Structure 1
Amino acid sequence: MEPVDRFVPYGPSHWALMALIVGGSVVLAVLGRRLGAASTDRWCRAFALVVLGFNLPLLAYRLTPGQWEITHSLPLHLCDLAWAVAAWALWTRGRSPHALLYFWGLTLTPQAMITPALDSPDFPHLDFVEFWGQHLLVIWSAAFLTWGVGLRPDWRGYRLAVAVTVLWGLAMLAFNARFGTNYGFVSSKPDNPSLLDLMGGWPWYLAVELVVGMSAWALLTWPWTRRQGSA
């Protein structure tokens, strides 16, 4: 039987956090729609500082000699890059960082939360807080900027997100081969059950993941561009 102090997928803490993510996203979207221009700027920059204030100390801690391990200490997973992009998008409200945040934050980050690769004690262990806090802030940022502030994805942003993601995947394949790591799970599947288990063995699951991802991102882009075209 799993020890009660360990995180258990779809246990009470997992369900509570999923509800918090959805509820917080709705609240932030509603809040964003009610803010004036000056308030929006202040809220976006304050939110960016919250994202940085949460993640940077944890990153620095993971790089200390007592915590350093090349297999997991570097911020090279897409979810690690996503929080940096979230802070960038919140601070600047630029189209490019928002596009990356929209596609990464609303497809890849939720996937990581539905099938979490987390083997640690439950709350309030630091590993638990880091994993869920990082992912939660990314999704909240994407919801706030998209449905609250009103930033919209388009086909240019779609192409950018695909290109950046493919280049990142190729870089991770090279890095993993050189250092024996598995950042991005591009060199092998994670040990925990995930959607990748439905996509065949390596390297075929990478091609399937790319096709499925591009198709899903296209479907997430089309409604917004359709509205723009009919406006």
Structure 2
Amino acid sequence: MLSLATQREFTAYGPSHLVVLAIFAVGAVLLVWIGRRQSEAQARVLGRVLAVLLIAAYAVALVYKLIRPDIQTSVPLQLCDVAELAAAYALWSQRHWAFALAYYWGLLLSSQALITPDVGTPAEGAPDFPHHLFLTFFTLHVLVVWAAIYLTWGQRNRPSWRDYRFTVGVTFLWAAFTFIFNAITGTNYGYLNRKPPTASVLDVLGPWPIYLLTEIAIVLAVWALMTWPWQRRSVTEPTVRSRAQEI
């Protein structure tokens, strides 16, 4: 393992980041293509293979965190941590409620980590490939978004307004628990209790708690937009079929 003195620093949209994005794009297309052509038994096998990969990456990342535990970073309380477990369970079990969480959390929230990655920790900096922080960070986030894409466009699962309400409720429960945990321990998981010390997009959303309210409004609106097209299609398709039958 390279020492911190010689380890390259990660640069957003540098060579390693662009390679990750290329792998992500190709993999997403392949998963949709394969998903639409496989049998139910094949889909079950592929889903469980992806679930095992996701859980394995999650376990490796957690072990590294616990080697030198730090309450500020070692507790798996980020929403992306919960999204990883939900996506793995959705892939393994094909349960619809787990798919709903993977869909909303993965496509909107975990995908942001691929676009604006926050690799590393305050203690170890932001190391580039092949450091374990780089590998676990991108492996986990790529797999979560792949899971959401595969389950939606490959397996043709569809979100509903009921799924929207369920995900909003679960997300608020996570936020309430994490906020209380942060208040007791002085941590800041999810940036719920204060802004991060470095510059971020939250800086343009106002001071605490205004930026939290703004975030909530944005997420609720985007999730609604992620639900509406599928529900609109499910309403219009029966109408089209009924008209065809009349003709």
* One-letter code aligned to 1:96: W
How far apart, CA to CA, are the structure 1 residues paired with 2:155 and 2:54?
Answer: 17
How far apart, CA to CA, are the structure 1 residues paired with 2:195 and 2:118?
Answer: 11
Q: Which residue of 2 aligns with 1:141?
A: 147
Q: Which residue of 1 aligns with 2:12?
A: 9
Q: Which residue of 1 aligns with 2:93?
A: 92
Q: Which residue of 2 aligns with 1:171?
A: 177
Normalising by structure 2, report the TM-score. Answer: 0.87
Q: Which residue of 2 aligns with 1:111?
A: 112
Q: Which residue of 1 aligns with 2:244?
A: none
- The answer to whether 1:198 aligns with 2:199 is no
| SS, match of residue 107 in structure 1 | helix
- The answer to whether 1:181 aligns with 2:187 is yes
* One-letter code aligned to 2:201: L
Deviates more, 1:172-181 or 1:107-116: 107-116
Q: Per-residue displacement from partner, 1:89-128 (whole Å, max 9, x unpaired)? A: 0011111111110001000111122222224211000111
Give 1:154 deviation, angstroms.
0.7
Q: Per-residue displacement from partner, 1:22-75 (whole Å, max 9, x unpaired)? A: 2211111111111111111111112111111221132133223xx111100111
How far apart, CA to CA, are the structure 2 residues paired with 1:106 and 1:63?
Answer: 28
Give 1:224 deviation, angstroms.
0.6
Q: Is the 2:28–2:146 Cα contact (8 Å) retained in structure 1? A: yes
* One-letter code aligned to 2:50: F
Among 147, 167, 187, the alignment partner of 1:161 is: 167
* One-letter code aligned to 2:100: A
- The answer to whether 1:150 aligns with 2:156 is yes
Normalising by structure 1, report the TM-score. Answer: 0.93
Deviates more, 1:148-157 or 1:15-24: 15-24
Q: In the superposition, relative to structure 1, how do residues 212 and 172 fare at CA in structure 2: closer, same or farther (>3 Å)? A: same
- The answer to whether 1:226 aligns with 2:222 is no
Q: Is the 2:48–2:92 Cα contact (8 Å) retained in structure 1? A: yes
Among 46, 50, 71, the alignment partner of 1:47 is: 50
Identity %: 44
Q: Is the 1:117–1:191 Cα contact (8 Å) retained in structure 2? A: no
How far apart, CA to CA, are the structure 1 residues paired with 2:22 and 2:66?
Answer: 32
How far apart, CA to CA, are the structure 2 residues paired with 1:106 and 1:181?
Answer: 26
Deviates more, 1:162-171 or 1:10-19: 10-19
* One-letter code aligned to 2:47: C
- Map 1:33-72; keep pairs closer than 5 Å: 33-64=36-67, 67-72=68-73
Q: Which residue of 2 aligns with 1:76?
A: 77
Q: Is the 2:60–2:136 Cα contact (8 Å) retained in structure 1? A: no
- Alignment RMSD: 1.5
How far apart, CA to CA, are the structure 2 residues paired with 1:22 and 1:198?
Answer: 30
How far apart, CA to CA, are the structure 1 residues paired with 2:70 and 2:82?
Answer: 18
Q: Is the 2:79–2:190 Cα contact (8 Å) retained in structure 1? A: yes
* One-letter code aligned to 1:166: F
Q: How many residues align?
A: 227
Which blocks of at least 5 consecutive residues in structure 2 are unaligned? 1-5, 120-124, 238-247
How far apart, CA to CA, are the structure 2 residues paired with 1:103 and 1:86?
Answer: 11
Q: Is the 2:86–2:101 Cα contact (8 Å) retained in structure 1? A: yes
Give 1:4 deviation, angstroms.
7.8
* One-letter code aligned to 1:173: F
Give 1:228 deviation, angstroms.
1.2
Q: Per-residue displacement from partner, 1:192-231 (whole Å, max 9, x unpaired)? A: 4433222111111000000110000000000111111123
